[in-house]
Amino acid sequence: MILGIDTSLGTAVAVVEADGVVRADLGSDNPLGHAEVIGELLQRAVAAASDPAVDGAPPPDAGAEIAYVAAGMGPGPFTGLRVGIAAARAFALGRGIPVLPVVSHDAAALEHLIESVVAGEPLRRFAIVTDARRREFAYTVYDDLDDDGLPVRAVEPALIPRDELDARLAELGAERRDVTRISAAMVALVAARALTAGREPGPADALYLRSPDVTMPAGPKKVGV
């Protein structure tokens, strides 16, 4: 099984089998408070994945059977993204299992592509768009699924002012797909497909929207008497 974690928008946790069967999929849409809910969601997801009511089969010990942790690496805000990545690395370290980094927009793109295929809709170039706050959007442009069933990035994740996005997407010939949540189940599924194909699903470093606001002081302050 693969444990998926993403905090690039809200907070999402899922447990997925290697063949794509979702054993648990939980989340909070609150774009803040990641640290307050991540622990409870992890506990609930592992417990739910061990519930025999999922498919009527004998209950697995999900905690013992989780072999990988898929971590959403953004794009996302500095503080929120770090919570999910830290939780993923801590869980993996405690179990002695690998962390598989995944571009969070890839998970949203895979969800859109699967829905399009199921609906019989033609696949067109599209952009996953998320709110980056501060009057900016983050976007990634995709073309299709490759032979391994993974979304093909035509344009890597980028940040753009809100009033410039539509013109940029028109220039790229991409349909706009606004996303307000990232599915941790899809994060895990991207990792599972990449693992099967023997590929790295995402970058080792987080894709922060911008640098943190907090900076180190230039030097000691003078104190008056």
Q: Which tens digit of pLDDT belongs to each residue from 100-131? A: 999 999 999 999 999 999 999 998 999 999 99
Nearest to 159 by CA among 181, 183, 129: 129
Angle between helix 104-119 and 184-197 (nearest 10): 90
CB of 72 closer than 8 Å to CB of 3:
no
Pairing of β 126-133 and β 175-178: parallel
The three-state secondary structure class of 35 is helix
Tell me the torsion sign for CA atoms 147, 186, 118, 165: negative
Percent residues over pLDDT 70 in the chain: 87
What pTM was estimated for this model as a whole?
A: 0.88
The pLDDT, as a whole number, for residue 169 is 98
Mean pLDDT (the chain, rounded):
89
Angle between helix 34-49 and 78-95 (nearest 10): 40
Higher pLDDT residue, 63 or 54? 63
Domains of the chain: 2-197 (3.30.420.40)
Q: Which DSSP symbol is given to 60? A: P
Number of residues assigned to the chain: 225
Mean pLDDT along residues 68-81: 95
- Which pLDDT band holds residue 65 (cuts at 50, 70, 90)? confident
The pLDDT, as a whole number, for residue 61 is 57
Question: Per-residue pLDDT tens for 13-58?
Answer: 999 998 889 999 999 887 778 888 999 999 999 999 986 654 555 5
Q: Is the peptide bond before 151 cis (omega within 30 degrees of 0)?
A: no
Separation CA 12–CA 21 (nearest Å): 17
